[in-house]
Amino acid sequence: TTTVVKLYELEENTYIVDTPGFSNFELAEIQSKDLQYYFIEFRKYIDKCEFVGCTHIKENNCGIKEVLKKGKISQERYERFCKIYAELKEKEERKW
Q: What is the DSSP string of 2-42?
A: --S-EEEEEETTEEEEE-TT------TT--GGGGGGGSTTT
Query: pLDDT-derived band of residue 42, with 50, 70 and 90 as boundaries?
Result: very high
* Average of per-residue pLDDT values in the chain: 88
Q: What is the pTM of this model?
A: 0.72
CA distance 32 to 70: 25
Query: pLDDT-derived band of residue 40, with 50, 70 and 90 as boundaries?
Result: very high
Eight-class DSSP state of 56: S
pLDDT of residue 14 exceeding 80, the answer is yes
pLDDT of residue 36 exceeding 70, the answer is yes
Residue 6: the pLDDT is: 84
Asked if residue 59 lies in contact with residue 50, where contact means CB atoms within 8 angstroms, the answer is yes
Residue 66: the pLDDT is: 96
Q: Which amino acid is at 24?
A: N
